[in-house]
Amino acid sequence: MMDVVTIGETMVLFHPMEERPLKYSSLYTKAIAGAESNVAIGLSRLGKKTRWIGRLGSDPFGDMIMTALAGEQVDLSKVVREEALATSVFFKDMYRIGDPVVYYYRKGSPSSVWKPEHVQEDWFVDSRILHMTGITPALGIETLQFTMECMKVAKSLGLTVSFDPNIRYKLWEEERVKEALLSLIPLCDIFLPGIDEAQFLFGEMSVEQLAQKIMNFGPHTVAIKLGDRGAFGMRRDLSSITVPGVNVGNIIDTVGAGDAFASGFLSIVAEDVYNFSLERALERGNKLGSIVIQGKGDWETLPTLEELNREKVITR
């Protein structure tokens, strides 16, 4: 039985080994990265059984992604390999002060050709939770319809559907992204936006008002990430709680923090999808988010369950 199934694009990431801008760098190191596979890895390290579903090229970069995820005990039995399309790559420029700048090379990628008819029931029948993000809908002509179909089929089979908007403004225009995401919220049970994303979708208002607006669309649980201020959660009965953030002294790389939060949150949901502790889910989401921003990489610093219980992990 799979605890969580994730569906989305995973790419090969290059970033400079030297402390200089991309245009002056000659040495790079490579890794894999993708919002949904990051979540799968995070959950796997916390002892949950996970499956990642995606499309990859039949090339060395696709092989690299498969090897890395298999090494993290993520089930890859439903992955599609494409002969005619190349696995996507991207570059992260970490020389600048603040959040890193990312450059994607993914046009015409294997993930851009997902269609609604590709969705198979056997992706979900042995699973309890489906997690998707707002990245996949932006990748191709029919990928929004594909995402909708995944969520509809999963719900029809009794899965709890989790959705993180994970807005990438480089991929599509603001009006289009707003319309698409608002059409997806009614299809999920758990919605996991950041405060900026929630305000983009619903306007400037208090976090409580934002959560209520979202609940009106259909989810039974909303968790809004507040950055260093923690996270706010609300349930269908309008009971709510705010969990404070974790004090972090040395922030190195903020990319992947939202995926880490989703991993921590869903690891608690997976314990009992009908009666999980919202407070514990928020606390663990915060804790994982605070850990990954203290090291380089989207997922490499995600902790195991044993490491998570060591206080020194979040205070180094």
Domain residues of the chain, as ranges? Answer: 2-8+34-84+114-314
3-state secondary structure the chain: CEEEEEECCCEEEEEECCCCCHHHCCCEEEEEECHHHHHHHHHHHCCCCEEEECEEECCHHHHHHHHHHHHCCCECCCCEEECCCCCCEEEEECCCCCCCEEEEECCCCHHHHCCHHHCCHHHCCCEEEEEEECCHHHCCCCHHHHHHHHHHHHHHCCCEEEEECCCCCCCCCHHHHHHHHHHHHHHCCEECCEHHHHHHHHCCCCHHHHHHHHHCCCCCEEEEECHHHCEEEEECCCCEEEECCCCCCCCCCCCCHHHHHHHHHHHHHCCCCCCCCHHHHHHHHHHHHHHHCCCCCCCCCCCCHHHHCCHHHHCC
Residues 6+ apart with CB under 8 A from 234: 208, 211, 212, 215, 221, 222, 240
pLDDT in the model for residue 96: 61
pLDDT in the model for residue 34: 95
Inter-residue contact 35 to 8 (CB < 8 Å): yes
Q: Please identify which of the residues 3, 75, 164, 259 carries the catalytic annotation.
A: 259
Fold of 2-8+34-84+114-314: UDP-N-acetylmuramoyl-L-alanine:D-glutamate ligase (3.40.1190)
pLDDT in the model for residue 315: 44
pLDDT in the model for residue 316: 40
pLDDT in the model for residue 312: 53
pLDDT in the model for residue 97: 55
Does the annotation mark 122 as catalytic? Answer: no
Mean pLDDT by 10 residues, the chain (316 residues): 96 88 89 96 97 98 98 97 95 72 90 97 96 96 97 98 93 89 98 97 96 96 95 94 87 83 97 95 94 82 89 48
Query: Which amino acid would we find at residue 246?
Result: V
CA atoms of 88 and 104, how far apart (whole Å): 8
